[in-house]
Amino acid sequence: MIQSKNPTTEEVLKTFEEISDKELEKKLALADKAFKLWKKTSFKERAVLMLKLGEYLRVHAEEFSKLQMLEMGKTMKSGPIGIAKCALLCDYYADNTENILANEILNTDKKEQYAEFDPLGVVLAVMPWNFPFWQVYRFAVPAIMAGNVGILKHASNVPQCAKAIEKSFIAAGFPKGIFQNLFLSVSRVEGLIRDPRIAAVTLTGSEKAGIAVARVSGEEIKKVVLELGGSDPFIVFADADITEAARVAVLARMQGNVGQSCISAKRFIVEESVKSKFTKLVIEEFSKLSVGDPSNKETDIGPLATEKILEEVTMQVKKSVSLGAKVAYGGARKGKKGFFYLPTVLTNVKKGMPVYDEEVFGPVMPIISFKTESEAIQMANDTRYGLGASIFTSDMIKAKRIIPQIEAGNVCVNDMVKSDPRAPFGGIKKSGYGRELGTYGIKEFVNIKNVWFG
């Protein structure tokens, strides 16, 4: 049984039955058949439908935002922004795929030689709940524009979002079987990966889930892209605009999603001489945010998505405080109904505390001080993750000196880490491997074929 539960009211909204083995077989056969036809279509034919999908998303932005709000608590204030980004993604690949995947001429001693980019087949996506629309379109749009077809195993707590995504492709006019949603338990994913009709796999989720999917995909020798957790450092030097750094820090921590994002800044590494000023300013910024009903368009912070996440964040803060961290702001659950946790600022944070060592999936800002540049770099890299990093400084020579030393797939200066349809996105270390978005992302699920004429 797959359950849709409102994290604001704790009410069960709907339940869905898992797909039967017989129905799963039908869907896999349909996907396989659809790919054989879809791969023969032109980029122009695909682009027409992709532009229609983008327009459909714009028209239904309010409806989709409401589904997110009901199933995982994203506020109606931030929801439409995310749906608009999905539409821009459709536009980008509709406009650029033909050029990106054009044959690449190779200058060799052959009469003619080039690299050709052919689709792989059916791509299985195992997707998370925290950005239930964006994460799915982020894989599906480039994969389908490249000539592949998609099958989705979405997070079990956002089934209505999953159904709406499948419906969007049908409504935009894509042929039957190009994109299908499966209501499937985690225990059945391994069998799905092993099915010979699945050509490749992409997963956005936890480190544990990534290990499981990578293991099975490796045994089957199937291409896999993993976008996993993060514990992104947000480094603030004394020469930075501290007021601006504090403002962006709060946005970077929240990411419009109560901090439930792999690319949220999670460790705030601040030069000691400006730590007090920075702490005061971020508390001021947090105090401006309203916590409450996510259906209210004035609300900035809604509930955490599940009771389990609320319990884990509570435990991480509590244990860190027991080890010496100080609560400068917040530090507790809000109310007894709904999975709300107050925005929290912790100081005196050290290595060995959960908020330093672990990924915290909630609105908690641990502030860690440093004295020297080398110490800041060491602290930034002192994590098993490597997704993103922010550096705040007015000295661009220093910033460019530090960037190559940061172990992350994304580094930004005087800004927050965020994804962009036009740029590659992904991580290293335990944050996964492979890339999404941009020209690199669309080439993850193609056969890069070397062709030459003697």
Q: Catalytic pick from 227, 285, 358, 359?
A: 227
Backbone φ and ψ for 276, nearest 5 degrees, come out as -65, -45
Residue by residue, what is the 3-state secondary structure of 284-345?
HHHHCCCECCCCCCCCCECCCCCHHHHHHHHHHHHHHHHCCCEEEECCCECCCCCCCECCEE
* C-beta neighbour count of 412 within 10 angstroms: 18
Q: Is 412 a catalytic residue?
A: no
Which amino acid appears at position 268 of this protein? F
What are the tokens at 425? Answer: 């996105």
Beta-ladder partners of 235: 269, 391
Distance CA 102, CA 272 (A): 51
Q: In sequence order, which ranges of 255-306 are alpha helices (DSSP H)?
A: 275-287
Cβ burial of 81 (10 Å; 0-12, 13-18, 19+) is exposed
Using DSSP, state whether 8 is helix, strand or coil.
Answer: coil
Please state, in angstroms and as integers, the Cα–Cα distance from residue 287 to each residue in 242, 291, 310, 346, following that order. 17, 10, 21, 15
Which amino acid appears at position 187 of this protein? S
Q: What residues contact 275, with CB distance under 8 A and at least 6 apart?
A: 347, 367, 369
What are the tokens at 191? Answer: 């069998």
Q: Are 307 and 339 in contact (CB under 8 A)?
A: yes
Between the CA atoms of 145, 153, 419 and 305, what dihedral angle is there, to the nearest 10 degrees? 150
Look up tokens 């506020």; give the residue: 75
Q: What is the DSSP letter of 175?
A: P
Using DSSP, state whether 111 is helix, strand or coil.
Answer: coil
Cβ burial of 58 (10 Å; 0-12, 13-18, 19+) is middle
Residue 25's H or E segment, with its range, is: helix 21-38
Closest CA to 416 of 207, 259, 225: 259
Q: Catalytic pick from 262, 412, 436, 444?
A: 262
Look up tokens 């092993």; give the residue: 194
What are the tokens at 303? Answer: 């509930």
| Range 330-333 contact pairs with CB under 8 angstroms and sequence separation of 24 or more | 330/286, 330/363
Q: Is 262 a catalytic residue?
A: yes
By annotation, the residues acting in catalysis are 227, 262
